[in-house]
Chains A and B, each alone.
Chain A
């Protein structure tokens, strides 16, 4: 248990130190060392409890209860402060409701309820701890170099707010650890709210009008989720008389009719945090933040907290149809429609954002299905998405600083200008969508579990969504692979800290994909077994090993095989004699010079945001409203 406490508290201490350190070099040392400590500690924790079922720790402390209430109130107060300062009525209203709600809750209801086992861990928490501790702190290290460049690009005399930035990142990690280890749902809620406000501050980092606007969009949507969480706490305390997550889940599984409303509310909180339609716009807006923020929000924290809660609720979804249908439909629709919209985007970060939302949708749908197979798939989707997405964000961030653009069309020739970076990016992209890499194996398990449970609508959404996924990744991959003459290599000036993190993610991908059967055996299967009592493993391990071998082959080809061919070089065909092959300029029939241009297809008319966005927003909003109407009726029916 000391380890859990250490993981939650240590990042807070680091954050406090970073807040006062203004020296660049000192900050580099502190961030690097503490990231290493957090990473090693979380690996050690995983190793110690490998394969553990649910392990509860007896730990209760009224002091911590009060602290967590105070933190919740402070969070709301901070939002209120910014809401007043930037004159945002909705944020103020929600913040006031939350302050009142949490104070009344703490002193009116929660005080009477003891949760003796405040902390716990199980294999899913361990998986999350690994993701937060290793990938999250890897991103912090990356941010060192990135923010140095970022500051250099700022106008002269701009205030250096980096101490706050790094402090926030570490607070974020602490809050995430609190979320994955808390059995006391009030503490869990505190972590939940802290991540919300941290991402608010990180998104608003640049203080431009756009950043402020998007930050407020984020805070309003996530506070709605937070209020739903609070509602769930109220119902749980009043009706079920417990605030322990374990007891809540047990009651839910044995008596699903009792928990329809709180589970719906918690699922709603999860959906908002996981940026599912109609709340997906906050994650798109979050792109205005510096890239490490995006990487952190998209891969290891924030949105992963949302799907973590949903996966935790999976056994209840299995027996409780109303929230289950809501989560399944919202997740499935989000997956298909966001994959469609990703086709029409040229901005690399926006493509990544849509792909994140789509993949979270898939995880959400898996959680909603709730069978052992679906949970198995969801756990792998969480793991591989975290690794691959952080790798991609880090690569895009570095590329942006060196080629001056985040447009995919400008990444032409990246393979030559930044040969190493392009290969890493290609690895990340392949991991996202193609066999034999992790994401596709997980998608495969998803497909099988959807078929087995008769979720035919999900099979439909998955089939069309995956086809779209192929399109938008393949054309990006193609752009990266282009090779012409020998343009300048602009890779030399990339910071060492950036390389370290990028390498870390790439190595994790390769290890993850090659050792996929082993990870399944030591981490994911124990969790599935501890929750459901059966495994329901549906992909024969022989297939997993084929995938593992193929992944190894591709990795070797990508990093050792490419570019070794010693064939005689010739110019490409350009409908005339080549004048400048690199620029695709040729002599035309009038002896003048013409240049050939070609762009990827973005199919704006078919898959444009304008066409698809309203459909998804309306459909998902309707699903959620109907589900809440049903659960309200179910609640009334109980009395």
Chain B
């Protein structure tokens, strides 16, 4: 039965997430431009970009890269489907990690030195944020009594009331997950601080289009995780969650525009310290107090 839910959820996510994610990306570019004193592209610019990429010639440096990226995209959709159909949060976390792995392997398979550096850094990024993501799922379980995201609708108070420290920690690593500066080590939208094009150096045409769509979907999923902290049995809470999501995304854009890329040492140590302080301390408090 819940298998069927996940299937329906994945289909729905496949349709809705690219649309929402595309609009979000357009909004992102507009707000960023305003922050920098520019007018910015039209809202649908990300869509035009991807459409153009799809129309390009089918050119590739090897025969496997595209397949890996397709896998990455499919598993992103599955992760989103699991989460938004009310399924297991940990499962969603693991499947999105799998998607990340395929992305990394795709870059490695090209043997381009630049893509390899990007892939190396992406691996480091995963290592940096993974503990906090696991703590987030564990803390959610302890606060809500279930790993199922649907469980929030049965709560008397949103989980953030007891795991606000974890929420703050999660916000910190969300910057890495959304690939925002200062933690955009592997793949940046800011040309001035990027080595060629990082992990996507050798990706082009349809493959690059898939990467873009994958990022849109990822963003929708991660923001869903943010919203999950603020939902409880009261239906109005969904509005509250949407407001929080909007604020969080604005905050991320602001951070993106105000900080330069850091070295990996700074990213790894800060992310792990945050995970320890915010995640572990909060979980220990929940367990023992």
The answer to whether B123 touches A470, judged by C-beta atoms less than 8 angstroms apart, is yes
Mark each residue of chain B from 48 to 75: 1 if its CB lies under 8 Å from any CB of chain A, else 0.
0000000001111111111110010011
Is B134 an interface residue, CB under 8 A from the partner?
yes
The answer to whether B111 touches A546, judged by C-beta atoms less than 8 angstroms apart, is no
The answer to whether B130 touches A463, judged by C-beta atoms less than 8 angstroms apart, is yes
B108 surroundings in chain A (CB, below 8 A): 477-479, 481-482
Besides A562-B67, A572-B115, 8 other A-B contacts (C-beta < 8 A) = A412-B111, A456-B284, A463-B275, A464-B131, A478-B119, A482-B111, A550-B95, A574-B113
The answer to whether B59 touches A568, judged by C-beta atoms less than 8 angstroms apart, is yes
Mark each residue of chain A from 417 to 451: 1 if its CB lies under 8 Å from any CB of chain B, else 0.
00000000000001000111000100010011001
CB neighbors of A among B61-94 (8 A):
61-68, 71, 74-75, 78, 82, 87-88, 90-91, 94
Is A596 an interface residue, CB under 8 A from the partner?
yes
Minimum CB–CB distance for B94 against chain A, Å: 3
Q: Given A456-B280, A479-B108, A584-B113, check contact A569 B127 (CB 8 Å).
A: no
Q: Which of A448, A467, A481, A567 makes the CB contact (< 8 A) with B59?
A: A567
Q: Interface residues of A: mostly helix, strand, loop or mixed? A: helix
Is B229 an interface residue, CB under 8 A from the partner?
no
The answer to whether A470 touches B97, judged by C-beta atoms less than 8 angstroms apart, is yes
Is B196 an interface residue, CB under 8 A from the partner?
yes
Is B124 an interface residue, CB under 8 A from the partner?
yes
Q: Given A434-B97, A572-B112, check contact A478 B104 (CB 8 Å).
A: yes
Q: Given A415-B109, A543-B88, check contact A451 B138 (CB 8 Å).
A: yes
The answer to whether A471 touches B111, judged by C-beta atoms less than 8 angstroms apart, is no
Q: Interface residues of B: mostly helix, strand, loop or mixed? A: helix
Is A5 an interface residue, CB under 8 A from the partner?
no
CB neighbors of B among A563-617 (8 A):
563-574, 584, 596-598, 600-601, 606
The answer to whether B111 touches A440, judged by C-beta atoms less than 8 angstroms apart, is no
A479 surroundings in chain B (CB, below 8 A): 108
Enumerate the 10 nearest inter-chain pairs by beta-carbon distance, A residue then B residue, closest first.
A478-B108, A435-B94, A567-B60, A467-B130, A572-B112, A463-B131, A542-B2, A481-B109, A483-B62, A471-B127
The answer to whether B105 touches A478, judged by C-beta atoms less than 8 angstroms apart, is yes
Is B160 an interface residue, CB under 8 A from the partner?
no
A456 surroundings in chain B (CB, below 8 A): 280, 283-284, 287-288
A540 surroundings in chain B (CB, below 8 A): 2, 88
Which one of A482, A484, A553, A600 has the highest number of Cβ atoms from chain B below 10 Å of its Cβ? A482
| Chain B interface residues (CB < 8 Å from chain A) | 1-3, 6, 57-68, 71, 74-75, 78, 82, 87-88, 90-91, 94-95, 97-98, 101, 104-105, 107-117, 119-120, 123-124, 126-128, 130-131, 134-135, 138, 141-142, 147, 196, 201-202, 265, 268, 272, 275-276, 279-280, 283-284, 287-288
The answer to whether B61 touches A477, judged by C-beta atoms less than 8 angstroms apart, is no
Is A93 an interface residue, CB under 8 A from the partner?
no
Q: Which of A413, A565, A569 makes the CB contact (< 8 A) with B66?
A: A565
Q: How far is the CA of A573 from the CA of B111 in the complex (A)?
A: 10
Is A459 an interface residue, CB under 8 A from the partner?
yes
The answer to whether A573 touches B130, judged by C-beta atoms less than 8 angstroms apart, is no
Q: How far is the CA of A444 from the CA of B147 in the complex (A)?
A: 12
Q: Which of B57, B101, B134 makes the CB contact (< 8 A) with A447?
A: B134
The answer to whether B90 touches A572, judged by C-beta atoms less than 8 angstroms apart, is no
Minimum CB–CB distance for A267 against chain B, Å: 25
The answer to whether B126 touches A435, judged by C-beta atoms less than 8 angstroms apart, is no
Is A284 an interface residue, CB under 8 A from the partner?
no
Is A71 an interface residue, CB under 8 A from the partner?
no
A430 surroundings in chain B (CB, below 8 A): 101
A601 surroundings in chain B (CB, below 8 A): 120, 123-124
Q: Which of B107, B115, B126, B284 makes the CB contact (< 8 A) with A470?
A: B126
Is A468 an interface residue, CB under 8 A from the partner?
yes
The answer to whether A434 touches B196, judged by C-beta atoms less than 8 angstroms apart, is no
B94 surroundings in chain A (CB, below 8 A): 434-436, 440, 444
Smallest Cβ-Cβ distance to B111: which chain A residue: A482
Minimum CB–CB distance for B214 against chain A, Å: 16
A474 surroundings in chain B (CB, below 8 A): 101, 104-105, 123, 126
Is A454 an interface residue, CB under 8 A from the partner?
yes
The answer to whether A550 touches B75, judged by C-beta atoms less than 8 angstroms apart, is yes
Minimum CB–CB distance for A332 against chain B, Å: 14
